[in-house]
Amino acid sequence: MTTPRPAPFGRALCAMITPFTAEGALDLDGAQRLADRLVAGGCDGLVLSGTTGESPTTSDTEKAGLVRVVREAVGDRAHIVAGVGTADTRHTVELALAAEKAGADGLLAVTPYYSRPPQDAVEAHFRELADACGLPLALYDIPGRTGTRIEPETMIRLAEHPRIVAVKDCAYDLLGTQKVLARTGMAYYTGCDEYVLALYAIGGTGYISTVANVTPRHFRAVIDAFDAGDTAEAARRQRLTIPLTELMMGSGLPGTVTAKALLSRLGLPAGPVRAPLRPAGREASDGLLAAYEGLVAA
């Protein structure tokens, strides 16, 4: 038997893209169809309006509308976690309250970016957010994008708040992660697809994956094999995902761009990206499709 792990939003989560129409408007029907496919493919939860969901270029009204229609599509079959992180504490709280009203089950908030606040300000930002809203909150630690780390000691203090329950971990610091895991009850989700098995093996809860937009079953199979006690099979399945993960997340193109390119090639809801992002070229999308087909055939 495996040891129960804290899983406030399930174990297998997808950082879902936001489908747009050919004209660039929000594609609500496409969002419902994609959400349904992801849940049927093994996703316990969907993270909406994260960076993969192009949150910097969607309006507050679009974000709330997306939560409402995805809730309608998946019902109680999956958790809905709304991305609400901004560089402005007041705006972040406004987004959180709107997400709660629209039917979200939880929140994901990135560290305020660009301004690079010190750790006491980072802590105060997240506490203000958690105090303002009744939903459980996951902290998104991705210093390579924001410029500011949520240091392990800050994370440990924040874990004392009853509504701060989880972390999306993109800090690439397994030592720091283990320090927090050892001293708190925080649920740790890797946001780095190549680390799904590594973080799970040291006590993580699961993952929030961008690549799962196209391959939800393959990442679910990694943690299912580990839970069944077959660590060799879990490692084999993790390795199978690496060629596609490398192309989608390590090719120099944002994951949003590569996910939408591949979804479009598969005839699934996606649409264009919004500026300043630009679509993947034909050569890149051909490579993505070949890697996807190789994974499916393996």
Query: Distances in Å between the alpha carbon of 52 and those of 136, 186, 246?
Result: 21, 23, 16
CA distance 144 to 62: 27
193 Cβ neighbours under 8 A, 6+ residues apart: 207, 209, 210, 211, 212, 219, 241, 245, 248, 249
Residue 142 assigned ligand-binding role: no
Active site residue 260: no
15 in Cβ contact with 48 (< 8 Å): no
Angle value at C-alpha 226, between 6 and 266, nearest 5 degrees? 95
Residue 52 assigned ligand-binding role: yes
Active site residue 140: yes
Omega before 276 within 30 of 0, i.e. cis = yes
39 in Cβ contact with 78 (< 8 Å): yes
CA distance 211 to 258: 9
How many residues appear in the chain? 298
CA distance 179 to 296: 37
Catalytic residue, from 168, 195, 200, 207: name it: 168
CA distance 207 to 287: 25
For residue 3, what is the DSSP state? Answer: P
Catalytic residue, from 63, 140, 195, 200: name it: 140
CA distance 208 to 16: 9
Residue 160 CB burial class (10 angstroms; 0-12, 13-18, ≥19): exposed
Catalytic center residues: 140, 168
Return binding residues for pyruvate.
52, 208
- Residues that constitute the known binding site: 52, 208
